[in-house]
Amino acid sequence: MHFKYTAVAASLTLALSLTGCGSDSDSDTSTTTGNTIKVIDGYLSQAEVCIDQNKNSVCDTGELLPTLTNAKGEITIPSDKAGYPIIARAVAGKTSDSDKLGTLGSSYELIAAAGSTVVTPFTTLAVVQEKTLDEVANELNLPADVISGDYVAMKANDEKAKAAHLLARSVTTELAPSVKDNQAAELTATTEKIQKEIDAQVNAGADLDNITVEIDDSGNASSVAIIQSLDAYLKDGDSQFISMNQAYAIDEGIFKVAVSGEGKLALTDKDGKEETINYTTEGNTLVVSSGANSERDTFIYIAENISLAVTEDSDLILWTKGDLKKSQPLAASYFEGKTWYYLSDDAPSNSKDAQPMVAKMVFGKDKVTITEPYADKQQEAMELPWKMDGDKLFIDFPDGDSDFSVTLYLEDKNMMAVYNYSKTRMGVYDLFIKHEDMAKNLYNEWKK
């Protein structure tokens, strides 16, 4: 159903149809006999779990369990698999964390030794650093019983558990997508930086449940507020949004959104026309109504600069607390030697039925290799010249195809939103995504 204000305002509710997200349909821990364990950063729901039977710290073929973790991070390990290490995969665009709204923006793996009842960043540190949990606890100045157990549940009566939880959720953003890719010395140094920032926050009397610690590109640690709820996100200043369906984007442009009273949203279109609608929130879901029309939709990914959602009609929407009309500096260092997944609508500009596509772009010094990993028909890779034209990334496509020209408008640790200057796509925003899992899951949801 489209809630008629315009096609984009109609889809303000931003539906989430992520398979299994928010339900335990794939996560029934009662159907298998064995030991129930918990996968925790916060509680990780819809995480994959492998039994590392050859003890090589890799989830090999045949080691993945058929079920996912439930909303409490729980999964049952079969009794005959109890003697092996456990690897848990948090998958970008699929796994959710009880600490955060939406799904995770980056993928990582956790590991625990055989017999552990929890799989956490602390059990991972112990394995990667080849230490016992007691040794890890001593180095972190945290109680061993806290970091070896469910520190989330302990927080109600233990301030040290709050510090442990903050450290855990901060460390996960620095973990590699695969356990084997973590470097012990580098992870130790990063953890020490995070711990120092946490100590400073404790001394300052900060509420540790409301922050996370991030490491920037220069290696500096700083505390960042967590978005506590969808309602808090909406009320924290004005927002902007635009459809990533190019026909809607070109036709309707950018909408501004502001909370205009309790349970009221004021929408302003590109022509300055304003309409007030009713809203409520339920977890990640935004419920809007006007007259007899209403919709229930859910944000997929929520961050200050970039938030994403899919409507009930599978329209992908870009939200921000930033400014979609103000470009940011873009340099060759964003691309050279890096791999990006470019997500855009490849439909004709007059078609309101999106045709999502993902282009894998592997950038060298002056050439980029482009493939479409999810195309219906396999196509040959293209190797094309690229360069920076001022603040624009320019890729020279063969004659007959439009050249590729984009510049940066929004970014966070997981993706960039860029404005497309190609002749047929002026007014359209696309995404450069760092992690393949996120690109694939967004593509699949949009493609529906």
Are 406 and 419 in contact, with CB atoms under 8 Å apart?
yes
- Give the separation between CA 106 and CA 96, rounded to whole angstroms: 11
Strands 118-119 and 34-39: parallel
Strands (E), 114-220: 118-119, 211-215
- What's residue 31's pLDDT? 53
Question: Residue 270 pLDDT more than 90?
Answer: yes
What whole-number distance in Å separates Cα of residue 107 and Cα of residue 59?
14
Query: In angstroms, rounded to a whole number, what is the distance separating the alpha carbons of residues 12 and 265?
Result: 10
Q: Average pLDDT, whole number, for the chain?
A: 90
Q: pLDDT at residue 386 above 60?
A: yes
β-sheet bridge partners, residue 288: 279, 295
**Residue 134 is which amino acid?**
D
Residues 84-108 have pLDDT tens digits of 999 999 999 999 999 989 999 999 9
- Mean of the pLDDT values across residues 170-194? 95
Q: Among 424, 430, 237, 218, which residue's Cα sits nearest to residue 320? A: 237
Judged against a pLDDT cut of 80, whether residue 32 lies above it is answered with: no
Percent with pLDDT over 70 in the chain: 93
Region 379-385: what's the mean pLDDT?
A: 93
**What pLDDT was estimated at residue 376?**
85
Range with lowest mean pLDDT among 10-24, 199-213, 296-310, 362-376: 10-24
For residues 45-61, average pLDDT: 96
Q: Is the pLDDT of residue 355 over 70?
A: yes
Tokens of residue 394, six digits: 């320019």
Q: What is the mean predicted confidence (pLDDT) over 313-333?
A: 94
Give the pLDDT band (50/70/90) at residue 168. Answer: very high
Enter the DSSP assignment of 400.
T
Q: Taking the mean position of all CA atoms in its chain, how far away is CA 236?
A: 20
Q: pLDDT band at 400, cuts 50/70/90? A: low
∠ CA 376-380-384, nearest 5°, is: 120
Q: Check residue 202 and give its pLDDT.
A: 94
Q: How confident is the model at residue 15 (pLDDT cuts 50, 70, 90)?
A: very low
The per-residue pLDDT for 24 is 42
Mean pLDDT of 137-162: 95
Q: What is the mean pLDDT of residues 320-324?
A: 96
Q: Say how far apart CA 308 and CA 93 lie, in whole Å.
A: 10
What was the pLDDT predicted at 384? 96
What is the DSSP track for 368-384? EEEE-TT-SS----EEE
| Least confident interval from 5-19, 146-160, 330-344 | 5-19
Instruction: Please give the average per-residue pLDDT across 222-228, as a whole number.
Output: 92
Q: What are 98's two structure tokens?
A: 């009880």
Where does the pLDDT of residue 357 fall: very low under 50, low under 70, confident under 90, or very high at 90 and above? very high
Summarised one tens digit per residue, pLDDT across range 188-202 is: 999 999 999 999 999
Contact (Cβ atoms closer than 8 angstroms) between residue 83 and residue 114: yes
Place of tokens 């007059």: 350
pLDDT at 27: 53
Q: Is the pLDDT of residue 249 over 60?
A: yes
Map residue 266 onto helix, strand or coil: strand
From the number of C-beta atoms within 10 Å of its C-beta (0-12, 13-18, 19+), residue 217 rates as: exposed
Contact (CB, 8 A) for 78 and 32 = yes
Q: What is the pTM of this model?
A: 0.89
- Give the contacts of 298 (CB within 8 A, at least 6 positions apart): 13, 14, 15, 16, 22, 283, 284, 285, 286, 309
pLDDT at 1 over 80: no
Cβ-based neighbours of 177, under 8 Å, separated by 6 or more: 106, 107, 108, 109, 435
pLDDT band at 118 (very low <50, low <70, confident <90, very high): very high
Q: Quick one: how far is CA 199 from the chain centroid?
A: 27
Task: Identify which of 14, 33, 209, 176 has the alpha carbon closest to the alpha carbon of residue 108.
Answer: 176
> What are the tens digits of pLDDT across the range 409-444?
999 999 999 998 877 778 899 999 999 999 999 999
In 3D space, the residue among 77, 151, 146 whose CA is nearest the CA of residue 114 turns out to be 77
**What tens digit of pLDDT does each residue of 119-145 get?**
999 999 999 999 999 999 999 999 999
What is residue 18's predicted lDDT score, i.e. its pLDDT?
36
**pLDDT confidence bin for 336, thresholds 50/70/90:** very high
Q: Which residues 6+ apart lie within 8 Å of 254 measured at CB?
A: 240, 241, 242, 270, 324, 325
If you average pLDDT over residues 224-245, what whole number do you get?
A: 93
Angle (CA) 35-38-44 rounded to 5° is: 145
